Chains A and B, each alone.
Chain A
């Protein structure tokens, strides 16, 4: 060990720093990763960590050296018009640039393909929606035509819906009467069974129809509200007696 030290002292050259340009430094403290004090914890097997530690060491050296160089008036930046031979030939740099470009293109292509696939899926969905909407419109239109044929509505307003109801009130009153036309019950049945006959495959009891309590009138069901005649009349007619009671009534009546 002493031999080493002796040798070193003999061998060491006393040159100005400018000649040697050496910097011994720790690393730039990275806010994300460990500081320079934990350098021993760097796992040499972890390539990325190792290379990042080298990079940081170089950075620290550069940050330390550049001001010194500037003070000593050694130029560090190459002016843009200074053309000289580079360590790697232009051909080599061209190759490198090509490789980088091709990699980027490949990535872009894969991204585009992914996007295209997503778009196609969405497009398909939209298309089916549009088709369904068109079919519905067609159906409505046909129904309206049939209605007109059956003479229920003399207005041909289904042909162009943009026409506003500016027909005037006289015709409006006549049409209103016709609009009411059939009974609510009849209308309901027409809508359900339609003019084209019974609708194919429509179930009687689906979950929705079962859960649909919109036609429930609480006062009607519990016989609570005022009778049809208003005051005075009892609504005994609504409350139909049961089978036994009716039979008894019949037999009693006989």
Chain B
């Protein structure tokens, strides 16, 4: 057949990415035969330079990985000439090379894309779905593609994030094995233009990683400060405010010295007290006796 759908995706990154991101990028390049690679972009260039790079490479889609502070990874998905673009925070990256993922697929085989029903419910999710479809689906009859459909990408929305998984189809009865890679996308913003333009949507649930770390630090500091405060309060309590009561001169009136008791020397051993095994019973008997007396009185 003839290759009609001329989609080309440019996958590249900025500088300062760590090994995991690099491997993820490479994995995406192997999985998508309609992708092209490019060198790392310098940080000082503006983002709209990317559009020019894409045009030079004759690509109409782009996946750009941006690493900040050597910790946070952001991913841009964009339709380069004029289309929408989206920025995500990427978390929980597992690459193809991980030994726990035992599946394998043909290099360049076309994927099946599976979406959550939630993608049809909200307009921003619908837009994202369209973006994903256009970027991730391999065009039919692409020269580097294999004609078989033997793996499936799943995009699921859980916990306000988009989870990506890649499974190999083993049997026709839909028994699957995970191939990898896997990652989680946290949507930040959707822009109308490519790498710029007015903001179409901003994710209210998104919290920047800086903010997240700051909150953790603050909570730890708050705990510590609370402990200090409690200690201070205890110190103050211990120290002062022992209220001194004045001596009352009229108290002496009530003082009556007690009579001196004669000194008694015991010569005979006192009778041993009967061992009471059941005090309650004894008490009961006593009470009954008292009642009797009371009645006879």
Task: Give residues in A with beta carbon < 8 Å to B.
Answer: 1, 3-5, 7-8, 10-13, 15, 18-26, 28, 42, 44, 50-51, 53-55, 57-63, 65-66, 69, 74-78, 84-88, 92-93, 95-96, 99-100
Contacts and interface: CB of A to CB of B under 8 A. Distances in A.
A33 to B, nearest CB: 15
B123 A1 contact: yes
B179 interface: yes
Interface of B: 4-5, 30-31, 79, 83-84, 96-97, 99, 101-102, 104-108, 110-117, 119-120, 123-124, 126-127, 129-131, 133-134, 137, 139-140, 146-150, 152, 154, 156, 158-159, 163, 165, 167, 169, 172, 174, 176, 179, 190, 192, 198, 200-201
Query: What are the 10 closest A-B residue pairs judged by CB atoms, nearest first?
Result: A61-B114, A44-B159, A22-B113, A62-B174, A59-B174, A24-B115, A85-B107, A4-B123, A99-B99, A8-B127
A51 B5 CA distance: 33
Contacts of A84: 106-107, 146
Contacts, number: 161
A21 B113 contact: yes
B30 A87 contact: yes
A55 B5 contact: no
Secondary structure of the B side of the interface? Answer: mixed
A22 B133 contact: yes
Contacts of A7: 84, 127, 192, 200
Given A11-B131, A75-B147, 10 more contacts: A4-B123, A21-B137, A23-B115, A24-B120, A42-B158, A57-B114, A74-B147, A85-B107, A87-B104, A88-B179
B184 to A, nearest CB: 10
6 contacts: A13-B134, A22-B115, A25-B115, A62-B176, A63-B174, A87-B96
Contacts of B114: 22-25, 57-58, 60-62
Contacts of A12: 130
B291 to A, nearest CB: 55
A18 B200 CA distance: 30
A76 B84 contact: no
Contacts of A86: 104-107
A20 B112 contact: no
A16 to B, nearest CB: 9
A130 B146 CA distance: 71
Nearest to B83: A11
A66 B4 CA distance: 23
A254 B104 CA distance: 119
A212 B193 CA distance: 103
Given A21-B137, A75-B148, A77-B148, A4 B190 contact: yes
Contacts of A15: 5
Given A44-B158, A66-B172, A21 B123 contact: no
A139 to B, nearest CB: 57
Contacts of A77: 148, 172
B1 to A, nearest CB: 10
Contact of B165 (A28, A42, A54, A63): A54
Nearest to B27: A87
A1 B125 CA distance: 11
Contacts of B200: 3-4, 7
Contacts of B139: 19
B102 A96 contact: yes
A54 B156 contact: yes
A4 B201 contact: yes
A17 to B, nearest CB: 10
Contacts of B112: 21-23, 61-62, 65
